[in-house]
Amino acid sequence: MTQRPAHTDRVLADSVDFLIIGAGPTGLGAAARLEQRGAEYALVEASDRVGGAAAAVTDARGFSWSVAGASGAQWQAIADRLVDPARLWLRTRVAHVDVARRVAILADGRALAYRWCISSAPLPTALSWAGARDLGGGLRSHRVLAVGAGFRGGAPAGLASALAPWARLIETSQLAPSGHWSVLAELRFPGRDDIDAGRAVEAVLGALAAYDAAPTRPVTTWTREFSPACPEPSDDRDELLRTIDERLRASGFFSRGLLGGWRPEAADLGGAYRQGGEAVDAALAGAAEEAYWAGASPAEAESAA
């Protein structure tokens, strides 16, 4: 007789048709579609809020940085209108999923059985849950460090022409206290490297100064790392993702969303929400998923449909 892993030997606390991991835009899109369909689900979120990466963070000096171009308020409004609060479990982290047995173990030790899982946890985590970490070995991803800086005075004219070392620089002065200005820079790093946030902040400030865009030292700085980010384009990326998707879906597991295997060149907030709904339709009715496969090579998108 084969030995069952200890974590599935617990008495099951509950079971649902759909387990949704993460109440970011992808998870909310899935929950809203399940509400429309009248299906049973649990939407499990590790943090104390919905919206995922779409959030505004305010520091002690009153400067705010709105990562992913959103405050999070719109996602809270969507949750309030479309999601049954009894099915939204905040501050509840999924610690492990036995993908083959379709049982999730929550961080507090409860076990939750499901028929389908739509997960927006990072793809490497999902693969380790499935005992298939090696399948993701050929994927390359980058990390993003968001760097915010706030200054006294008005934003200088040189700001618009300041170009490096960031992948994107956004003026966020509308979120700064009056009489101040601020920026948010997004820096990309190879996935394998550790990020020295202090050096990154100095690089941003140095580049602003070089463009005459930051004549004074900042009154505040802020950083947040997003890691590991989505799989970068490569010759075989889409084929690898299709192989992974087939493997996970055979156990009713859909790894979706920003970190769940989505192509960075296609990722945006609206697409994430649509992707969640389409994953539900794929599970229940075998419908094609356009948002998840957007940006894939035509052959991969077609064979996945």
Ligand X SMILES: Cc1cc2nc3c(=O)[nH]c(=O)nc-3n(C[C@H](O)[C@H](O)[C@H](O)COP(=O)(O)OP(=O)(O)OC[C@H]3O[C@@H](n4cnc5c(N)ncnc54)[C@H](O)[C@@H]3O)c2cc1C
> Angle at Cα 227 formed by Cα 17 and Cα 223, nearest 5°?
125
Q: What are phi and psi of 15, to 5 degrees?
A: -150, 150
Distance CA 297, CA 236 (A): 10
* Nearer of residues 92 and 213 to ligand X, judged by Cβ: 92
Kindly state whether residue 93 participates in binding ligand X, applying the rule CB under 6 A.
Answer: yes
Beta pairing class for 220-226 and 142-152: antiparallel
Q: What is the smallest separation between the CB atom of 237 and ligand X, expressed in angstroms?
A: 18
Q: What is the smallest separation between the CB atom of 254 and ligand X, expressed in angstroms?
A: 12
Kindly state whether residue 121 participates in binding ligand X, applying the rule CB under 6 A.
Answer: yes
Do the beta carbons of residue 112 and residue 42 sit within 8 Å? Answer: yes
* Nearer of residues 23 and 214 to ligand X, judged by Cβ: 23
Q: What is the smallest separation between the CB atom of 153 and ligand X, expressed in angstroms?
A: 26
Distance CA 254, CA 212 (A): 48
Kindly state whether residue 195 participates in binding ligand X, applying the rule CB under 6 A.
Answer: no
Region of 189-197, 199-207, 237-245, 254-262 interacting with ligand X (CB under 6 A): 254-262
* Count of residues in the chain: 305
18: closest CA among 39, 37, 35?
Answer: 39
Return all residues near 160 (Cβ < 8 A) that are at least 6 apart: none
* Nearer of residues 47 and 303 to ligand X, judged by Cβ: 47
Region of 8-16, 156-164, 203-211, 265-273 interacting with ligand X (CB under 6 A): 265-273
Give the helix, strand, coil percentages of the chain, each rounded to 5: 35, 25, 40
| Chain residues 30-69 in contact with ligand X, contact rule CB under 6 A | 44-47, 52-54, 67-69
Do the beta carbons of residue 173 and residue 151 sit within 8 Å? Answer: no
Query: Which of residues 35, 171, 225, 268 is near ligand X by CB under 6 A?
Result: 268
Query: Which of residues 258, 279, 283, 304 is near ligand X by CB under 6 A?
Result: 258
* Nearer of residues 144 and 200 to ligand X, judged by Cβ: 144
Kindly state whether residue 22 participates in binding ligand X, applying the rule CB under 6 A.
Answer: yes
Distance CA 28, CA 256 (A): 12
**Binding region for ligand X (CB under 6 A):** 21-27, 44-47, 52-54, 67-69, 93-94, 120-121, 144, 146, 186, 226, 257-259, 267-269, 272
